Amino acid sequence: MARSRARKARSELKNIPYEIFIGALSVLSIVNLVLLYVMHSSEAIQLILYALNALFSAIFLGDFVYRMVTAPSASHYFFRGFGWADLLASLWFPQLKVLRVFRLWRVARLMREVGPRTLWRTLIHDRANSALMTLLLLGILVLEFGSMWILFVEEDAEGANITSASDALWYTVVTISTVGYGDQYPVTNAGRIIGTIIIVVGVGIFGTFTGYLANLFLGPGTKTSDDADASASASPAPSDSASTSLPPVTTEHTATGVAAGGTVGAVTAGAAGATAPARVATPADVAAPADGTSPAPLSTEQLLELLERYERATAELRELVGAAQRTAGGAAADG
């Protein structure tokens, strides 16, 4: 039962950094609902929160479509996996935003069933996605709270040009993207400090995002562990007939065959009496096909034949050595 629940959790679980990103956005969207009631006296702050909630709605709607398409069972996800709550919470109606609690509950349940060890190991090994999702979340946080802070600080300052929600959002977007048109700028020291933080975060976000895209499109293709498992499961296993047709080849048989091949080549070259130095057969010449392809494994009959050739070559070699010794001895006696 526990294993079946773990497999089900893994089938529902998407990329772990992505799930953490969606869970953090769910928490932030719920916090925004509270801020809407707390900041009811500031119309500009409420406009910023409404703009961010519209962005969250678009992200959550895309997440719902993604889960619906990739779910093992779309009907199970929609009716029993609170997919209906994801869809309603993605709509513009403020009364339905509270349904994002179900999304947060599902992410927390999946993370708990996967386990903290697997979660931490995945975050460590998948550093590219982890860094990307972290910086995207950080960018959204800076966009929201940076806009509210810069507006709060600059709104009533003397000579300020950031006096509305659109001015604050425009300044934050332009600054975080490192474009810096200069049409909106802070005039107070606190506003400049906030602007410096936004600039530093923007450089990190866009630098990491550029590196991620470069690695995605220009980096060498690597096979993940899931792909390797799929390839291993897809490759056909050797049949019983193929595994039992030949006896196991030992190291002794292989060494004997190689030695026989080399000895036969040397004896044949010596018996032919060629003037050019003879080329001794190598182990690759013994079993390598003529077309240059990979050597085929030796069968039992081939190993037995090589063993017989080895014995005949040894006998011929002894005769040649004996003849050479007799010739050398006769020459020494004549001298």
Write the DSSP assignment of 180-214 as a string of letters: --SSS---SHHHHHHHHHHHHHHHHHHHHHHHHHH
Tell me whether residue 237 is in a domain.
Answer: no
Same domain, yes or no, for 95 and 178? no
Tell me whether residue 59 is in a domain.
Answer: yes
Name the more confident of 302 and 244. 302
Name the more confident of 106 and 315. 315
Name the more confident of 281 and 165. 165
Whether the CB-CB separation of 3 and 115 falls below 8 Å is answered with: no
Domain limits for position 21: 1-125
CA 172 to chain centre: 33
Instruction: Mark which of 198, 218, 238 sits at the end of a domain.
Output: 218
Tell me whether residue 271 is in a domain.
Answer: yes
How many folded domains does the chain comprise? 3
Q: Helix, strand or coil for residue 158? A: coil
When pLDDT is averaged across residues 237-256 and rounded to a whole number, the result is 45
pLDDT at 22 over 60: yes
Count the Cβ atoms, other than its own, within 10 Å of residue 143: 21
Q: How far apart (Å, rounded) are the C-alpha atoms in residues 176 and 220?
A: 31
The model's pLDDT over 177-217, given as tens digits with 9 standing for 90+, comes to 888 788 888 999 999 999 999 998 888 888 877 877 787 77
Name the more confident of 280 and 163. 163
Same domain, yes or no, for 2 and 121? yes
Same domain, yes or no, for 67 and 165? no
The model's pLDDT over 94-143, given as tens digits with 9 standing for 90+, comes to 777 777 777 777 777 777 777 778 778 877 887 778 888 888 898 899 99
Same domain, yes or no, for 253 and 207? no
Same domain, yes or no, for 113 and 137? no
Tell me whether residue 5 is in a domain.
Answer: yes
Same domain, yes or no, for 3 and 71? yes
Give the per-residue pLDDT at 315: 86
Whether the CB-CB separation of 178 and 170 falls below 8 Å is answered with: no
Quote the tokens at residue 19: 């799930």
Quote the tokens at residue 166: 């659109």
Give the per-residue pLDDT at 180: 78
CA dihedral 7, 231, 20, 144 (to 10 degrees): -150
Mean pLDDT of the chain: 74
Which of 295, 316, 310 minimizes the C-alpha distance to 252? 310
Same domain, yes or no, for 120 and 35? yes
Quote the tokens at residue 196: 């410096």
Same domain, yes or no, for 110 and 150? no
Give the per-residue pLDDT at 219: 64
pTM equals 0.57
Whether the CB-CB separation of 324 and 271 falls below 8 Å is answered with: no
Tell me whether residue 87 is in a domain.
Answer: yes
Tell me whether residue 230 is in a domain.
Answer: no
Same domain, yes or no, for 4 and 119? yes
